[in-house]
Chains A and B, each alone.
Chain A
Amino acid sequence: MAAPRTARQKEIRRHLWIYGALTPYVIIAVFPIYWMLITAFKQDRDLYRMDVFPLWFHLPPTWKNFTYLFYSTNYVDWVINTMTIAAWVAGITLLTAVPAGYALARLRIPGAENLGIAIFMTYLVPAIILFIPLSRVVAMLGLQDEWWSLVVVYPTFTIPFCTWLMMGFFKTVPMEMEEAARVDGCGYLGALLRIVLPVSVPGILTSVIFAFTLSMQDFLYGLAYVSIGDQKPVTVGVPTELIRGDVFFWGSLMAAALMVGLPVAILYNFFLDRFIQGITGGVGK
């Protein structure tokens, strides 16, 4: 029959249109990753050549860049440090931003609006200025050259945004729920813990992912506060130890990028739905 075929044809055509339109985006987004992949496995001699097709190998691929990374640098330490730092920072951010967001959203604090704005304004203070007085703080805490110093410093840029995120999110939790809980004798704390938080899991997960990702974007603080090889996070270790003098160790650089980038991307992807839900929650519905 003509009708079902046309419907299916239409569906296929629609799919083709969409895939076609999406292709440039996917290529743009993913091509650098592919490039990293190829470069990571190329021999140096294969790299500095202009006459050959650069997207495939001409000399056999090699594990050399990866072995250099693992045996001759502190790469493994860097990755572990980065992940640990990110986890701690996410935790600290949660412990500070979630309560603060709730307080600003629901507890009718006088001047809440201005306080919220003031917290967000901290983003206007540039890191290249902050890092100097903060180094004094880090030294006072005895954390110089340990990655713990970054755990202390990174929340300064994750807390403001996450507070806003949580603030917006908590506003969408119906007040009636909380009131009901308090009526039932929960008190403010109880209402928060037993009613509001469980409903806010998407928002909380969003904050976690966000804090996690943000803490991997820093370069300056890590550079200034951690100089010991095995204490560096990967974002500092890679540019500082794989670029020596005026020589770039491109193969190992790309290998390093791949191995830290892809797992994070996969993890992120996992939580993407929650992330969307979380941001959505931040909209006054």
Chain B
Amino acid sequence: MNEQLPLQTDHASVSRRRFLTVAGAGVAGSSLLTMLEARQAPAQIKGTTLRILQWSHFIPAYDAWYDKFAREWGDKNGVKVRVDHIPHLEIPARMAAEFAAGSGHDIIYNGSSILTRLYYKNLVDLSDVADAAGKKYGGWIPSARPLVEVEGRWFGLPLFYILLPMLYRKDLFDQNNLKAPDTWELARVAARTLKPKGHPSGIQLSQCADANLNWRSLFFSFGGQEADASGENVLIDSKELRETLRFAKALYDEGMTAEVFSWDDASDNRYLASGVGCWVHDAISAYRTTEDTNPEVFKNTVIALEPQGQGGKRVSVAAPNVWMVWKFSKNQQAAKEFLTHLIDNDIEGMVQSRGYNMPYLNSRYKKPMPIIGTDPKMQILQDFPKIVAFYGYPGPATTPIQEVVNTFVFPDIFTKVARGTNIEDAVKWGVGEYRRIYAKHKRA
């Protein structure tokens, strides 16, 4: 594994790629490390093109920065870089099309819906890039690896995740002598008090990404688990689920209105910005939207830590964002170089996204973190990494979990209960769906 490979003498990029694939990832890894340490772009990638596909960030300025960032790297290394943006919801369709076509972009992104395990046979092993970054920056947070790991290797590079903290209206709370919503019970009391005064709260009870994230945060904070550490066994049929559902029903009846059944990912942003919502559980895009459209309300909006569930636990489910490289890419080397450069600068990305992008690497969490460390209202976000989890917690994001997420089974259980279905019946339905989906994937 430590042999020095005769890279400098191997000129043709084609035969080099063949060499890499034949020799195996480990060998390629050490050669790449050598190059990285040398800190110079190998001549082989000059004159090539690199195509990247990723989402349209909700902050247009971030995309503008990103595109420039990519271009500058390209100019420095003689690579022509092009970045394309489409909404994260449409990426799966695009991936299917590119895979079927056997061509497309070199680097592709997944947000929320991580499909690494579906496509891993056709993705480039990025363990070397990941290990290098881990070594340089204090290691990865525990939830990073299970996102992209298959058979012990990293087939994707997690770059950042998106938090959904508690956002609440301090002025309304103070006016009504309400304590800050440090526990879910306090949040419920607040909603109950403020709803008759025209300020209910709201969490989506619909088929959207935020619903998948928010209700899981509640469930996990109440001590629930979705699947075990191996990812094979579904654990939702538990006392905790029933308690969470009881709580959720009460929360909905007392503190929310029927609008939440029609909400999409943006509705809670608007709710807060309109001045109506007393609290929402949402990404800081809501915070930024309010800042831009309703300064009055923004003045009084506070970000808080994930509330404690019964039993004092706090778990905040975040939306992961992962970068991958197609095996059919004709420029895997440049792709890896670029990804390394990207992860080296993940903090810059955080700044450019006004604090939205949270890094996965431990050394980045040294306080004060950029943007969120310096803005007093946002400092609490620095405490989230310890309590962050992803779909399938505490297990990894397996393919059956992806299907469960994409068909919105989990929020549907809550929707049914809120609409009046008996808790036992709703749980039976939900568990049944999970079992069916898991069974299908086992058969395949």
B86's contact among A48, A138, A240, by CB below 8 Å, is which? A240
**A and B contact pairs by CB, cutoff 8 A, 11 listed:** A133-B100, A135-B97, A135-B100, A138-B101, A228-B84, A244-B63, A245-B56, A246-B209, A246-B210, A246-B269, A247-B58
Determine if B97 and A241 form an interchain contact, defined as CB atoms under 8 angstroms apart: no
Shortest CB distance B100–A (Å): 5
B:233-292 near A, CB below 8 Å: 264-266, 269-270, 273-274, 276, 283, 285, 289, 292
Contact with A along B319-346 (1 / 0, CB 8 A): 0000000000000000000000000000
Task: Select from chain B the residue with minimum beta-carbon distance to A239.
Answer: B87
Asked whether A45 and B293 contact (CB < 8 A) given A247-B285, A248-B266, the answer is yes
Asked whether A139 and B84 contact (CB < 8 A) given A48-B270, A245-B285, the answer is no
Determine if B53 and A227 form an interchain contact, defined as CB atoms under 8 angstroms apart: yes
Q: Is the C-beta of B102 less than 8 angstroms from some C-beta in chain A?
A: yes
Determine if B102 and A136 form an interchain contact, defined as CB atoms under 8 angstroms apart: yes
The interface size bin for chain A is: 20 to 34
Determine if A245 and B57 form an interchain contact, defined as CB atoms under 8 angstroms apart: yes
Q: Is the C-beta of A180 less than 8 angstroms from some C-beta in chain B?
A: no
Q: How far is the CA of A224 from the CA of B86 in the complex (A)?
A: 10
Q: How far is the CA of A50 from the CA of B275 in the complex (A)?
A: 10
Interface size of B in residues (CB-CB distance below 8 Å): 42
Interface residue SS majority, chain A = helix
Residues of B within 8 A of A145 (CB): 84, 104
> When A and B form their complex, what is the total count of cross-chain residue pairs whose Cβ atoms lie within 8 Å?
100
Q: How far is the CA of A44 from the CA of B294 in the complex (A)?
A: 9
Shortest CB distance B195–A (Å): 16
Determine if A223 and B294 form an interchain contact, defined as CB atoms under 8 angstroms apart: no
Residues of B within 8 A of A72 (CB): 60
Residues of A within 8 A of B269 (CB): 246-247
Shortest CB distance B360–A (Å): 19
Task: Select from chain B the residue with minimum beta-carbon distance to A137.
Answer: B101
Determine if B58 and A244 form an interchain contact, defined as CB atoms under 8 angstroms apart: yes
A:30-62 near B, CB below 8 Å: 44-45, 47-50
A48's contact among B100, B104, B264, B294, by CB below 8 Å, is which? B294
Which of B88-96, B364-372, B384-392, B435-443 is near enough to bind chain A? B88-96
B58's contact among A131, A133, A227, A246, by CB below 8 Å, is which? A246
A:51-96 near B, CB below 8 Å: 72
Given A145-B104, A244-B63, 11 extra CB contacts under 8 A: A45-B293, A48-B293, A133-B100, A138-B101, A139-B102, A145-B84, A244-B56, A246-B58, A246-B209, A247-B285, A248-B266
